[in-house]
Amino acid sequence: MSAKKIYISADMEGITGVIHWDETGGNNPDYQYFRKIMTDEVNAAIEAAFEKGATDVVVRDAHGTARNLIPDQLHEKSKLIREWSKSPFGMMEGLDDSFDAICFVGYHAKAQTPFGTLAHTMSGAIFDLRVNKISMPEFGWNALIAGYFNVPVIFVSGDQALCDQAKQLIPEIETVAVKQGIGEASLNLHPKKSRQLIKAGVSRALDKLPKMKPFKLDSPYVLEIDFKKKESANRAAWYPGAERVGDFTIAVKCDDFLDCMRFFHLAY
């Protein structure tokens, strides 16, 4: 493996066992339990990276408050980014072109996905996010940010629906489904089994890194957001260069993807 510097973005809705919003934050005691499961799954990815020869692993806590991973239980050789800086990079904060590869852990399907576990796109305010007419889960949007820095996304774990969506965008990516939606319920692996599969999946992904390419779309970029509420659409429509293309849909055209990131950051 030639990769020495690995970036990991970790969400929570796609962690093994998580099935209800109460388990993803707040004062519910189950949240504390699933923080531990989340930390364990991220550690599995970190362990694979170091065993494959990585010298630097940076983890971005990318869920909710961005204060979910338990610092003293995270692999001691890794580095952790916590809290939100309020920059357009969001769940990819701290990424730059010095990284060799990116792994996503605990990701989930996009809003309005049948059988997606806690499916949503960034926030409860969005029905759909499209770039050049392609509907994007958070995975896709963050993969485009990675592509902006010319870094390939090589692995993702989460629910089965998310893994299917990831394969549609990046067919070569390694995926690990730790659960499968059954209506509002889900069928879950044992957490130990999930960790084993995540570690093995990251290892396989790093083995085939030389064949992986950054995820990019052709410029100019047309970004469209379908909002759930008119108040959100009304606000976003005031962004310079934005166009209202539907009652609840705002679009912006950008030559530089960073400008799309700025619009998205400020619009929602």
Enumerate the active-site residues: 120
Q: Please provide residue 119's backbone torsions phi and psi, each rounded to the nearest 5 degrees.
A: -65, 135
Helices and strands, number each (H, E), in the chain? 6, 12
Distance CA 56, CA 54 (A): 6
* Dihedral class, residue 158 (left if φ above 0, else alpha if ψ from -120 to 50, else beta): left
Gap between the Cα atoms of 74 and 254, Å rounded: 39
Coil vs helix vs strand at 156: strand
Tokens of 37: 């499961």
| Separation between Cα atoms, residue 166 and residue 175, nearest integer Å | 8
